[in-house]
């Protein structure tokens, strides 16, 4: 189970992940549940900056695109990759796959 705060309406970026170490636990209110391990992740700390452009989720993609423009090096995701993803999405929506 996870709560991920992407900062809608604010500049927050963090997550709390609850896990049960392989046990099937569907609710903290379930009988026999003891201390539920919770991992906390601070997106700004992971990014190493509290600048929005560093932690909002696309910095690496932006840098990759700029590298492509300046060097011509093939980007990690090409327009062909994006078109294929859209085609697969349309197939899923139409229950073809």
Give the angle 55-61-45 at the CA atoms, nearest 5°: 20
Grouped pLDDT means (10 residues each) for the chain, 97 residues: 73 81 62 72 89 82 92 92 95 87
At 84 the pLDDT is 96
pLDDT, residue 90, reads 95
The two three-digit tokens of residue 69, written as one number: 């423009």
* pLDDT confidence of residue 3: 77
User: CA end-to-end span of the chain, whole Å?
Assistant: 28
Number of Cβ within 10 Å of residue 7's Cβ equals 14
Overall pTM > 0.75:
no
pLDDT at 94: 92
């Amino acid at each position: 189970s996870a709560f991920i705060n992407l900062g809608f309406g604010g500049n927050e970026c963090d997550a709390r992940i609850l896990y049960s170490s392989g046990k099937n636990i569907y609710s903290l209110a379930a009988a026999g549940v003891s201390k539920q391990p919770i991992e906390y992740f601070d997106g700004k700390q992971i990014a190493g900056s509290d600048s929005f452009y560093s932690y909002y989720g696309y910095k690496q993609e932006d840098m990759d695109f700029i590298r492509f423009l300046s060097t011509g090096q093939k980007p990690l995701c090409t327009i062909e990759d994006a078109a294929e993803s859209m085609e697969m999405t349309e197939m899923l929506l139409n229950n073809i796959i």
